[in-house]
Amino acid sequence: MLTQLLLTVKKIYQSGQITPPSLIGCFDPETFAIFSFADFIALYNQGVVDWNIAPSDYKSAEFKKFRKIVEVTAKNPVTFSLKTDGGIKELKDYIKKTIGNYGAQISFFDDLSGGLEITLTNLQHIFNIWIDEVKPQIVANDKDWQELQNDGVYPSDFFLADVYGDESNYGNTVDSNMKVIFRNGEYRLSQSIVSRFIETFDFKDGSAAHGNFWRKYKRPPRSEKFSGETITPYTEILERKDLLVPRDIMERKGAFFTPQIWVEKAHEAIAQALGENWQKEYYVWDCACGTGNLLVGLTNRKNLFASTIDESDIRIIHANMKGLIFRENAFQFDFLNDSFDKLPEKLRKIIESPEERRKLIVLINPPYAETMSKNMTVGSERKSGNQKSMVDNVRFINCNVKINS
């Protein structure tokens, strides 16, 4: 049942439209079991599972393979017996204490985990939720945010001030050298940064939204070893803070044509074909990038290339995707007409080398044209079906493209 639940929940989670739950649960006539959802998030970003498995297809080889993975991944469930009145009462009391009182600002399932732990895997997703829920309550208008940006301070710096807060000390930021720190219920700018002489930022709602947010999420650990390595999720996130680009910046102009769920599905398909660590080995070129939405979430920036015919889109990428892609790897280029001589030297060498070219993935949401029926009328002109025949050919080719693993 847990395997079926994870297959069902994945589409909802990947859509990015809801807040990930802290816990998930399933039950049979004898037992109700509750698990930490954070334990399973990493599975959603791996290529070891065929996510097209129907939850009801429990006899298939792929389902059985995933079930074994789930059995290993599931840790320390909270269980309640449904066979006795005492067990049922314990379950009712637990639900009443946690879910039932969540609106009253009681810690969300703090018996088990104290919230969904922030990791590099879910960092950007949770940051966008912070943008929606907490940022609007900060006492700062659009002009203030622009002034801050002019001084090199972004919403991500406010978010990181929260992420690196000490839960045992009212969420106060641990590192006083960050651009923004959280102290005594308000954000404070570093002494070296002054924007319009505003040094502190309070909350419009008395920090209610901020408090609710940090009841749903758990800050990354600072001292535990991570996967046997000395690096922890705490240090890993700080090293990749460049990933924190607000969704509203990504949803400009051409970015609207590539919804986030399409981006996630595209990345997922590549991982399924090439393996979980494919980004370390392969290059990615989006040659119709718009404002770069299709590359958001990819982390190996030295291997990313973005080009588009619209120079203004490149200016947006240079301004708003600093750290996500090297500046020289985002460039104006008409891939249907321009010569490859206009490509950056690194990309040109990759294309010219048969060995390196095998590692190049062209990830593209291409320009759009409609096929036409023969003698279709467009406006006042009559067009021959032959004039659109190449669109049919391209469509046919695209439908048969396969990733060569």
- The pLDDT tens digits along the chain (405 residues) read 999 999 888 777 665 555 566 778 899 889 999 888 877 876 776 556 777 888 888 899 889 988 988 888 887 788 999 999 898 999 988 887 766 544 333 333 333 345 777 876 677 778 888 988 999 999 998 888 888 877 778 888 899 898 888 877 778 888 777 888 998 889 998 765 654 556 789 999 988 999 889 888 888 766 544 344 455 556 667 665 655 755 555 444 333 446 667 788 888 899 889 988 899 999 999 998 876 778 877 888 889 999 988 775 676 677 656 567 888 999 999 888 899 999 999 999 999 999 999 999 999 887 655 444 444 443 434 444 444 445 455 443 343 344 443
- Closest Cα partner for 108 from 25, 217, 210, 220? 217
Residue 343 in any domain: the answer is yes
Phi, psi of 82 (to 5 degrees): -100, 5
Please, are residues 323 and 249 in contact by the beta-carbon 8 Å criterion? no
351 and 284 within one domain: yes
Q: In what order do the strands lie in the sheet with 78-81?
A: 23-27, 31-36, 78-81
Please, are residues 260 and 227 in contact by the beta-carbon 8 Å criterion? no
Domain containing 48 equals 2-113
Residue 379 in any domain: the answer is no
Q: What is the CATH number of the domain that holds 346?
A: 3.40.50
Q: Tokens in use for 77?
A: 């469930």
Please, are residues 371 and 392 in contact by the beta-carbon 8 Å criterion? yes
- Calpha distance 141→195 (Å, rounded): 13
255 and 214 within one domain: no
- Closest Cα partner for 313 from 292, 327, 334? 292
- Calpha distance 136→139 (Å, rounded): 8
Q: What is the pLDDT of residue 203?
A: 93
How many residues are there in the chain? 405
60 and 25 within one domain: yes
67 and 106 within one domain: yes
Contacts 24+ apart (CB under 8 A), 159-167: 159/127, 159/130, 159/131, 159/134, 159/244, 160/238, 160/241, 160/244, 161/187, 162/130, 162/134, 162/210, 162/214, 163/118, 163/219, 163/220, 163/237, 164/219, 164/234, 164/238, 165/214, 165/219, 167/219
Residue 329 in any domain: the answer is yes
Residue 149 in any domain: the answer is yes
Please, are residues 187 and 164 in contact by the beta-carbon 8 Å criterion? no
Q: What is the pLDDT of residue 380?
A: 38
Residue 233 in any domain: the answer is yes
Q: Any residues with CB less than 8 A from the CB of 330 and at least 6 apart, and which?
A: 289, 292, 305, 306, 307, 314, 317, 318, 321
- Calpha distance 251→254 (Å, rounded): 8
83 and 52 within one domain: yes
> Of 243, 267, 291, which closes a domain?
243
133 and 82 within one domain: no
Whether the pTM exceeds 0.85: the reply is no
Taking the CB of residue 170, how many other CB atoms lie within 10 A of it? Answer: 11
Residue 271 in any domain: the answer is yes
- Calpha distance 203→185 (Å, rounded): 9
142 and 81 within one domain: no
229 and 256 within one domain: no
Q: Hey, CA dihedral for 46, 48, 52, 58, is it positive or negative? A: negative
Q: Tokens in use for 225?
A: 């070893």
Burial of 332: CB neighbours in 10 Å, binned 0-12, 13-18, 19+: middle
> Of 89, 113, 137, which closes a domain?
113
Please, are residues 159 and 127 in contact by the beta-carbon 8 Å criterion? yes
Residue 132 in any domain: the answer is yes
261 and 358 within one domain: yes
104 and 8 within one domain: yes
253 and 210 within one domain: no
311 and 198 within one domain: no
Domain count, the chain: 3
> Of 243, 263, 292, which closes a domain?
243
Please, are residues 189 and 152 in contact by the beta-carbon 8 Å criterion? no
Q: What is the pLDDT of residue 355?
A: 93
Residue 103 in any domain: the answer is yes
